[in-house]
Amino acid sequence: MSKAFIAVLRRDLLLAWRSRADLLVALSFFVVVASLFPFGVGSDPDQLRAIGPGVVWVAALLATLLALPRMFSQDFDSGVLEQLLLSQEPPVVWVSAKIAAHWLSTGLPLVVVSPLLALMYGLKPSAIEVLALALLIGTPILSLIGAIGAALTLGLRGAGSLLALLVLPLMVPVLIFGAGSVDAWASGIGLRAHLLLMGGGLFAALALAPFASAAALRITMD
Amino acid sequence: MQWQDPGTGLNSIAKAAPTARQKCNPDVVIFLTTKRLPDTPWRVVECTPMLEIHDLACLRGDRLLFRRLGLSVQAGELWRIAGANGVGKTSLLRLLCGLATPDEGEVRWQRKTIQQERESFHAALLYLGHASALNDLLTPLENLHFACAAAGDAVDTAACSAALTRIGLGQQLDLPTKVLSQGQRRRVGLARMLLATQRLLWILDEPFTALDVAAAAELAQVIAQHAKAGGMVIFTSHQDADFGMPVRTLDVGKFGGAFSA
């Protein structure tokens, strides 16, 4: 591992810890959005069980989106990004570190809390495991795709809403296969196809998104 | 090519060169040679400029900031970029670092464009911009240590705290940066310079802003020391400072756009 990768990862995790109130906001948002649905669609247990995985996924997606603008904006304002671009190491190294830190501080907590929400929707324990596993594979993809959008909208007015418009359509496949995996498992089709597709998506995003974000950052900083 | 009298000694460039050369990567081009010409007491000194700018132009929106700007910087030189506000000093410095791409012309480091030589150029470059590059939630020590590590320098915490103590932030090592004053934030940048003496080229944007008299004098001394040791410093400043050595000036205003819309 390179020096810059470790330095950026450590610093971003330390910063996430120092500003943990911000992270709690995204996490509470996740819980609140997921809890709203029963009020809207009624409290029929079968219906709730059916929509549960989808609701948790959509809430996770929105919560990720809420935290995305913070990935680069603070460092952009303070001039740290300029310094990072002038590092000896190629930008893709530290961009990867920033994405990793972002996922660890926002995506992973969502995965950890999701079983609680699934329980609220009356999902069976085994379905809860499937949902958490799908989120574990899917949320890194959301962070990776989101990083490209966050880099492209850096420093723009109304960056947050523009970011949502840019990246939400790209996140639809993740949502389809993520939420679909629980249904597929419950209907006896088996998980394999869904998880393999998501795994493939994760590797593709891992290979491409850091390069795309680094290129986008170079353009926005020019 | 310039002629020099050995009696009066070589100028600071020549004196500085061995040090500069030692500090470079051994595979880099040797940029200075001296040889005695036959039958004369003269020596010829050939200098290959380390940093060259050719025919640089910069547009901001549809306004031409400057064009046909050329400059060549040799080891041991101190350059002040002068010009009124808004004339494009910061834009020029960003072009020199490679943070921005020129609309025309190119910047060369050791005869290759800085895009080709990205890694070795960035290894030899220290850029301190307008923004302090400090995070408010981290302590000065954490900020400085991160700045060194992210740039690729192996500097340990002890060296960082020694540098901060030397520039007068010994009491503030463990305080969050947000409680520091503007001048104290600038001093963290000064500490970064103390830890980056192995980097040949320093590009400093308004380094004297917000510094008190003592700190400004110390900064001038650090800059002059770096140049005397064979480094190069390019900076913008509106203040006059005593470096105790000649400072060359480039007035960006002279290259001002003739066709500003």
| Tokens, residue B58 | 């910069």
Instruction: Encode pLDDT of B153-193 as tens digits.
Output: 888 899 999 999 988 888 888 899 999 998 899 999 889 99
Task: Please list the alpha-helical segments (H only) found in chain B.
Answer: 12-23, 89-97, 118-123, 140-151, 157-166, 182-194, 213-228
> Which residue ranges make up each domain of chain B?
74-253
Our count of domains for chain A comes to: 1
Q: Bigger pLDDT: B39 or B122?
A: B122
Of B97, B100, B135, the CB nearest to A15: B135
Which structural domain range is residue A104 located in? 3-221
What residue of A is the nearest CA neighbor of B136? A78
Contact B146 A18 (CB under 8 A): no
Round to whole Å and give the CA distance between B236 and B251. 10
ipTM: 0.86
pLDDT band at B6 (very low <50, low <70, confident <90, very high): very low
Percent of chain A with pLDDT over 70: 100
Instruction: With beta carbons less than 8 A apart as the criterion, state whether A161 and A75 touch.
Output: no
In the predicted model, what is the mean pLDDT of chain A?
A: 92
pTM above 0.90, yes or no: no
pLDDT at residue B23 tops 50:
no
Q: To which CATH superfamily is domain B74-253 assigned?
A: P-loop containing nucleotide triphosphate hydrolases (3.40.50.300)
What residue of B is the nearest CA neighbor of A94? B150
**pLDDT at position A212, please?**
96
Buried-exposed string B211-232: b where 16+ CB fall within 10 A, e elsewhere: beeebbebbbebbbbbbbbbbb
Percent of chain B with pLDDT over 90: 27
Q: Which residues in chain B have their CB less than 8 angstroms from residue A3's CB?
A: 149, 152, 154
pLDDT band at B38 (very low <50, low <70, confident <90, very high): low
